């Protein structure tokens, strides 16, 4: 079986790649990326993809038993350009879901965010909600959406807001509703890997408690 991962260089994606490579359930782990990566492993198949080229993108997903999407950017990376932000956080996962369906792949696992709502006034939460709505509308047989709150783990880039939050959250954790509690990126990755092995058909949303239960 082939598992395809989009977003392998992010916090969750990096942990998920580790999980998939050590899992005998998959014969091949394929990663799609925009820039060359220096990664090697006997099970690893690397595909350099131009995500704006729809046919190139579709072909890169052929033969997948499951597609994991953990792609995402930040306002800092796109220099505040909301159109550029949308091309990454909306276009890539939505196209991936559509091509997944076209190619006959019946499982899609997506990282979203707690509070995702297409009717939100917050740009980020509204966008995540729109992604969820569009992906759900594709009609994939088994769709799992992870909605973590603040992610913990070793990021490659420094984020001041997260650094401050990590110091505050432990003090007031007892006051925080469970779905808003910080969670380790590694735990989300484990939950994604576990969700992909479930045989149930349908649309599933996992927040903090569900993610913990899936691990």
Please report, for the chain, the start and end positions of each structural domain, with discontinuous segments joined by +.
2-214
47, 87, 124, 126: the catalytic one is: 124
Verify whether residue 128 is a known catalytic residue. Answer: yes
* pTM of the predicted protein model: 0.91
- Strand-pair partners of 167: none
Distance, in Å, from the CA atom of 196 to the CA atom of 100, rounded to the nearest integer, reads: 14
Burial of 65 by CB count in 10 Å (0-12 exposed, 13-18 middle, 19+ buried)? Answer: middle
Helix/strand/coil for 7: coil
Number of helical (H) and strand (E) elements in the chain, helices listed first:
8, 9
Distance, in Å, from the CA atom of 95 to the CA atom of 24, rounded to the nearest integer, reads: 28
**CA–CA distance from 106 to each of 119, 126, 177, 188 (Å)?**
28, 26, 33, 21
**pLDDT at residue number 169:** 57
Digits of tens for pLDDT over the chain (215 positions)?
Answer: 999 999 999 999 999 999 999 999 999 999 999 888 888 999 999 999 999 999 999 999 999 999 999 999 999 999 999 999 999 999 999 999 999 999 999 999 999 999 999 999 999 999 999 999 999 999 999 999 999 999 998 755 544 455 544 555 555 565 677 899 999 999 999 999 999 999 999 999 999 999 999 98
Eight-class DSSP state of 170: H
Does domain 2-214 fall into CATH 3.40.50.720?
Answer: yes
128, 186, 190, 208: the catalytic one is: 128
Main-chain phi, psi angles of 184, to 5 degrees: -70, 135
How far does the chain reach from its first CA to its final CA, in angstroms? Answer: 21
Question: Which distant-in-sequence residues (6+ apart) come within 8 Å of 132 by Cβ?
Answer: 110, 112, 116, 118, 145
Question: Which distant-in-sequence residues (6+ apart) come within 8 Å of 102 by Cβ?
Answer: 58
CA atoms within 13 Å, Cβ hemisphere of 53:
10
List b or e across 77-98, with b for residues whose CB sees 16 or more CB atoms inside 10 angstroms.
ebeeeeeebbebbbbbbbbbbb
Verify whether residue 124 is a known catalytic residue. Answer: yes
């Amino acid at each position: 079986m082939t598992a395809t991962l989009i977003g392998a260089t992010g916090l969750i994606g990096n942990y998920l790649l580790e999980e998939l490579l050590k899992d005998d359930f998959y014969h091949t782990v394929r990663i799609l990326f925009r820039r060359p990566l220096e990664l090697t492993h006997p099970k690893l198949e690397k595909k350099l993809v131009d995500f704006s080229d729809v046919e190139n993108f579709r072909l890169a997903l052929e033969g997948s038993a499951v597609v994991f999407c953990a792609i995402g950017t930040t306002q800092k990376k796109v220099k505040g350009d909301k159109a550029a932000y949308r091309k990454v956080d909306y276009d890539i996962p939505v196209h991936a879901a559509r091509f997944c369906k076209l190619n006959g792949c019946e499982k899609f696992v997506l990282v979203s965010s707690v509070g995702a709502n297409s009717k939100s006034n917050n740009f980020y939460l509204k966008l995540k909600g729109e992604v969820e709505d569009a992906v759900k509308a594709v009609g994939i047989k088994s769709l799992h959406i992870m909605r973590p709150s603040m992610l913990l783990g070793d990021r490659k880039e420094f984020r001041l807001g997260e650094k401050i939050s990590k110091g505050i959250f432990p003090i007031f954790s007892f006051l925080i509703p469970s779905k808003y509690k910080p969670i380790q990126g590694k735990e989300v990755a484990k939950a994604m890997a576990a969700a992909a092995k479930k045989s149930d058909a349908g649309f599933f949303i996992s927040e903090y408690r569900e993610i913990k239960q899936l691990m």
